[in-house]
Amino acid sequence: MSEQANVTPEQYIPLCVPDVSGNEWQYVKECLDTAWVSSVGAYVDRFEQQLAQRVGSDHAVATVNGTAALHTALLVAGVQPDDEVLISTLSFIAPANAIRYAGAWPVFIDAEEHFWQMDPQCVTDFLENQCETVNGVLRNRVTQRRISAIIPVHILGHPVDLQPIIELARRFDLVLIEDATEGLGGSYADQALGTIGDIGCYSFNGNKMITTGGGGMLVTNRADWAEKARYLTTQAKDDPVEYVHGDVGFNYRLTNIQAAMGCAQLEQLDTYLQKKQTIAEFYGERLSRIDGVTPMPVPSRGNSAWWLYTILIDSELFGTGRKELLDFFAAQQVQVRPLWQPLHCSPVYRDCQVVRGSIAESLNQQALSLPSSVGLRQNQQERIIELIASAPR
Ligand SMILES: Cc1ncc(COP(=O)(O)O)c(C=O)c1O
């Protein structure tokens, strides 16, 4: 089954590649022509303002990538070394690493089975039954560490059910940081993902909703936090002329060239969202006819950005498992990929606490992400669907 099929390189279908057919060349050329290429420049300001306006946030601070945005968010939110931060276990590893960069520890929260996002019920169980308030500070009963923040990750562009999580965050005085790195353009209860909690973070990595090659952004309505983020991401300069530094800062700023690309990409976000939605509808309709395949659910509250279209394979009903399908697609020159190993199973985080975890583990066994580039053509989608239907069993 893993034998190379008779397909030409032209038939190769990548998982998710960017579209750079807008004003990218023109804006980047302007940076090169004027030599405004580094981390200061009109495009950085413009990108921050336009993104803030687009999502409806008061402030935006551009960063070198989404991981840096998350790290900075944790620091401005006041997360201290040895605190604990609740985070979705079914996620790419970056937000967990950002928690460790801040010296804090992740507590992994399982996914719910309907939309595969952080399960608010697990958050409730943990906060109500596994924590206690000691001298006004919420602590994990087992580790006695302070619980200071929660990071729901909107995976695959779908919204996390945030309402109950917002209520819990208020009740237990936790800072709510949304990892919206996969969800730019998606919404929950008519609000843009990333703007519902206290701070939101986006990524502009090559495969994300928009790209700057690599890049990120932090958004917040709190002016003091935005100012602190700007300070920390630019080496914490108290006096920029005399090189006086009041903190251990970071070189986390985005360059003007990258921001120029970001401005051009942002102009096309609506087109991208429309294309992703069309791709999702086509997959959803066709794949629902194949026994053993569960199409990606459609969110009940809010709109998905449909970042990566993902299906579940029931190996018994379908006749073969998602591991075999991965090999089959590789041989057919079609790039598909599994969901991330749940973070509580990852060797690096195996010793951290998890609240349940079994649903994320089961989703991980079954999930397969399909090609979802905005430039994906319908005949390519038809080929992918036909390959699933005809995969050797
Ligand atoms: C859920 C999630 N969080 C954070 C990141 C980190 O973003 P970046 O790659 O821009 O650092 C990514 C993507 O890479 C991601 O998928």
Q: What share of the chain is helix, strand, coil (3-state, %, to 5)?
A: 40, 20, 40
Average pLDDT, the chain: 96
From 186, 195, 181, select the one nearest 52 (Cα to Cα).
195
State how far the Cα of 123 lies from the Cα of 240, in Å rounded to an integer.
43
Report the atom number in ligand 1 closest to the C-alpha of 205. 10
Q: Is the CB of 92 under 6 A from ligand 1?
A: yes
Residue 361 counted as domain residue: yes
Q: Is the CB of 91 under 6 A from ligand 1?
A: yes
Q: Output the residue whose Cα is nearest ligand 1's atom 16.
A: 92
**What is the extent of the structural domain holding 361?**
9-19+269-390
Statement to judge: residues 244 and 97 lie in one domain: yes
Statement to judge: residues 96 and 188 lie in one domain: yes
CATH code for the domain in which residue 288 is found: 3.90.1150.10
Q: Give the pLDDT band (50/70/90) at residue 1.
A: very low
Statement to judge: residues 247 and 336 lie in one domain: no
Is the per-residue pLDDT at 3 higher than 70? no
Say which residue, 257 or 10, is predicted with more confidence. Answer: 257
State how far the Cα of 206 lies from the Cα of 228, in Å rounded to an integer.
28
Render pLDDT for 31-79 as a digit per residue (tens, 0 to 9). Answer: 999 999 998 889 999 999 999 999 999 999 999 999 999 999 999 999 9
Statement to judge: residues 234 and 332 lie in one domain: no
Element (H, E) at 121: helix 120-129
β-bridge mates for residue 340, sequence order = none
Statement to judge: residues 83 and 219 lie in one domain: yes
- Locate 304 and state its tokens: 């998905």
Is the per-residue pLDDT at 197 higher than 90? yes
Q: Output the residue whose Cα is nearest ligand 1's atom 8.
A: 66
Q: Give the pLDDT band (50/70/90) at residue 311.
A: very high
Statement to judge: residues 158 and 288 lie in one domain: no
Q: Is the CB of 119 under 6 A from ligand 1?
A: no
What's the confidence (pLDDT) of residue 2?
45
Number of domains in the chain: 2
Statement to judge: residues 279 and 255 lie in one domain: no
Model-level pTM?
A: 0.97
Classified as helix, coil or strand, 25 is: helix
Q: Is the CB of 342 under 6 A from ligand 1?
A: no
Question: How remote is the CA of residue 180 from the centroid of ligand 1, in Å?
Answer: 9
Q: Is the CB of 387 under 6 A from ligand 1?
A: no
Q: Pick the last residue of a domain from 243, 267, 291.
A: 267
> Is residue 355 within 8 Å of residue 106, measured between CB atoms?
no
Classified as helix, coil or strand, 276 is: helix
Residue 209 counted as domain residue: yes
Q: Is the CB of 153 under 6 A from ligand 1?
A: yes
Statement to judge: residues 353 and 252 lie in one domain: no
Render pLDDT for 277-290 as a digit per residue (tens, 0 to 9). Answer: 999 999 999 999 99
